[in-house]
Structure 1
Amino acid sequence: MSSQQPTDEPVYDDRVYRSSMGVVSGVLLLALTAWLCGDAVVRGSGNTPWIALAAALCAVPLIVAFTIRPAVFANDDRMRVRNPFRIIELPWAAVDAVRSGYSAEVLAEGSKYQLWSVPVSLRERKKANRQRLRYEGLRDREGRSPGEKAKVPAEPMRASADRIVDELQRLAERGAERPGAQGSVRVHWSYEIIAPAVVGALLLIVLVATR
């Protein structure tokens, strides 16, 4: 009789990737929206308070969707991409590649999904490329003094988006054969964001049209 070997391997906590600047911008925009709409509700007359409330109902979900909400969660089995209006679950076996060009994106099952929470900064990439060229030049120089050697970094600089994409690609390659990483891509629409934004937009159109 052969003893069965456990097939399930441990899955560690998700790594979370999000834009800190996006979160800060979202908080500031929410505060500005609350101040403007709150002032209109308190001081406005006629339909103005209702217009302000409808505008807030439309604007707040959109601000949250595009600034605070986007995130990428990754563990040894899968990646979950939370974009403004969708959540995409991608087992590593279904992922073809994670790459960054003008935007960070994942290719899976013939489709392409953007990673909203990993913004690509071309300016940061150019700066990193310049430093990498300088790094390679310093590494190739011979006869350097001890002081010059101390100035050479251990590794060349990488733009943050490129570094995250490289890390996700390594996770995909390492986890593709895991039993828990099998399956197909699943996409869920985020109706909790879409519904209030649509309702607020419709109310705003009606109130402005009948003003």
Structure 2
Amino acid sequence: MLLLALTGWIGGDALVRGEGLTPWVALAGLLVLVPLIVAFTLRPAVFADDDRLRVRNPFRTIVLPWQTVADVRAGYSSEVFTEDGATYQLWAVPVSLRQRKAAARRRSRAIAAGDPAATRPGGGGIARGTPHLASGDRTIAELRGLSEQSGHRPTAAGEPRVRWAYEIAGPVLVGAVALVVLLAVG
């Protein structure tokens, strides 16, 4: 939000106080920057219910019925794999190696202290919110569990759907073309 406010302040100032081509260049720049800021900061999200997984990435929305999901994993990034071999990134579920190391240290300490929950697979009780998994890994484990529980439901069938975010790409392209024309003319 701060980045949007800063962009609006600088761009708005150039629109109001600028002379010559400056207001037009500022308008074209705002048409490029504002959708990109929204796409990479506010837009990414993951929604899951009993029937499907909906992934909203910066430039497209992917709807995957649970029967088409083969696996959900987090390596260096969070990914969902489909039965037909497609891979989609989950931009909204960050993977932090630092958080993983901290969770591993907490788990080691808990094991040394004799905590029986720390020796269970998965770090001990994801539903109870134990600190033995990083937050991204906990989210991936929850999505994997939901996929395993819901994959057999008849309402979780269908084909994967991918929709490009024209509401983001359209203004960016129009602004980029206008910016190139204005800079070439001016």
Structure 2 length normalisation: TM-score?
Answer: 0.90
Say whether residues 1:205 and 2:180 are aligned partners: yes
Equivalent residue for 1:116? 91
The counterpart of 1:57, out of the listed 26, 31, 56, is 31
Equivalent residue for 2:53? 79
Equivalent residue for 1:184? 159
Unaligned runs of 5+ in 1: 1-26, 142-152
Output the amino acid matched with 1:52.
A
- Aligned equivalents of 1:73 and 1:82: distance in 2? 8
Q: Helix, strand or coil: the match of 2:36?
A: helix
Q: 1:167 to 1:51 in 2, by over 3 A?
A: same
- Aligned equivalents of 2:27 and 2:115: distance in 1? 63
Equivalent residue for 2:11? 37
- Aligned equivalents of 2:28 and 2:115: distance in 1? 63
Check the 8 A contact 1:135/1:156 in 2, yes or no: no
CA RMSD of aligned residues (A): 1.6
Q: Helix, strand or coil: the match of 2:114?
A: helix
Residues 21-54 of structure 1: per-residue CA shift (max 9 Å, x gap)? xxxxxx1111011001011111111100100000
Q: CA deviation at 1:102?
A: 0.6
Structure 1 length normalisation: TM-score?
Answer: 0.79
Q: Which has the larger radius of gyration?
A: 1
Aligned identity (percent) is 59
- The correspondence of residues 90-129 of structure 1 with structure 2, limited to 5 A, is 90-108=64-82, 109-129=84-104
Q: 1:156 to 1:192 in 2, by over 3 A?
A: closer
